[in-house]
Structure formats: structure tokens, C-alpha cells
Amino acid sequence: MSTHSNLIPGSTGAVASTEVSTGVDFLNDNQSQQENGRIVWFLGLSAAGKTTIAKAFQQQLKVIGEKSILLDGDQFRQIYSRDLGFTQKDRSANIIRAGKIAGRFAQSGMIVLAAFITPFENDRISLRKMFKDILYTEVFCDCPIEICKIRDPKGLYNLATKGEIANFTGISSPFEQPSRADLILPTHRLSIRECVDRIRTQVSCTGTK
């Protein structure tokens, strides 16, 4: 029986909605459930669509019987990183903590879908080094901050602009443009289905590290 788990469920701003297609096994022929899994790491601004797209991709994995788990950044913090704040040091510690947990799941044969803002390039480099023996794909959900503000379901951008939330990415804390993303998804222009199709193509063609 396949395993399909939202260990840490969560949500972000919606991407333009459309039906997500299902189809044949699109994973690399050299990978099976008996081997190590892989990690697909979704990064981008808050409300860029990271978790929304990760959940849609997870549904396709479920259809083909692949074991997967979704790690959502907001919920991960509530469970595993309540001791950390939002300074650059604490953000980096949170990402490394998440990476270690993702790596353990992948080594057990799971496909890990991780949705974290991951704003700093040094942390992305650290993740690649950490996952050097694991199939790894970095997906940048690229959405203009103006669109993210409109999508924002919790009104966090508004609060950050008013100074009521400190160290908020894109407002009072930087988001460094990814330099090595394996896939860039302009989520303000693509439907969920189009995003998922592009992820399918990426993971079927490469096992980037």
C-alpha cells in the first residue's frame, strides 16, 4: 500500500486554479520505492504558491502509488522550530533543521515535498551539500511581491508594511534571487496544472544534486 502523507499540512495564497492532470509514472526509471527517495524543495516568497503546487504534485504521486510526504514551512515552525525567531541566523537554523528531517525521510524511500521560503542563497547551497547523495530538485516559485500581497490570505504583508511584523521576507528582510534553481515557475502566469506538468518533466529528466 502506498503512503501519502501531509505530515505537516498547510496553505499559501492560491495560484490560478485548474484541474490537475493524472498520468503514467513520470519518475526516473532508475528510481523505485525500494531505493532512496528524492527531495523536491519549493522556495519563494510567502503566498507565491509553494504549498498549493506541492499539494497538487503530491496528488499525482498518490495516483501512481509513490510514497510522499509534504513538509510545509509554516507548520514545520510550529512543531519543530518554536524556539527559533526570524532573524537571518534563526531562519538559517530552521532551514537546516528542515533539511535534516527531509533527508531522513528521503533516505527511507520517501519523496519529500518541502515548501519553505528559503530566502538566503547560502542556505540553498548548504541544502545542496546536505543532499549530495539524494536526488534533489530546487523549484523556485517566482511571483512578484505585488501579486503575493494580493493573494496573502492572512494579511501578513499588510501587517509587515505597518511595522507590526519584524523581519518579514520581502518587506523588512531580504529574499535573495536563487542562482541555481533547477526549475523556475512564474506562478502568477501559470495554472496549477501547468506548474505540476513542468515539475513532472523536470523530475523525470533529471536527478539534480
Output the pLDDT for position 154.
Answer: 86
Average pLDDT over residues 102-127: 97
Output the pLDDT for position 206.
Answer: 56
- The tally of domains found in the chain comes to 1
Q: What is the CATH number of the domain that holds 112?
A: 3.40.50.300
Average pLDDT over residues 178-192: 97
Decide if 18 is inside a domain.
Answer: no
Pick from 15, 2, 11: nearest CA to 141: 15
Decide if 19 is inside a domain.
Answer: no
What is the value of pTM for the model shown?
0.84
Output the pLDDT for position 80.
Answer: 95
Decide if 28 is inside a domain.
Answer: no
For the cut 60, the answer to whether the pLDDT of residue 2 exceeds it is: no
Chain mean pLDDT for the chain: 86
Who has greater pLDDT, 112 or 25? 112
Output the pLDDT for position 33.
Answer: 38
Output the pLDDT for position 101.
Answer: 97
Decide if 27 is inside a domain.
Answer: no
Output the pLDDT for position 19.
Answer: 38
Residue 29 makes CB contacts below 8 A (sequence gap 6+) with: none
Q: How confident is the model at residue 14 (pLDDT cuts 50, 70, 90)?
A: very low
Q: Beta strand 135-142 with 38-43: parallel, antiparallel or unpaired?
A: parallel
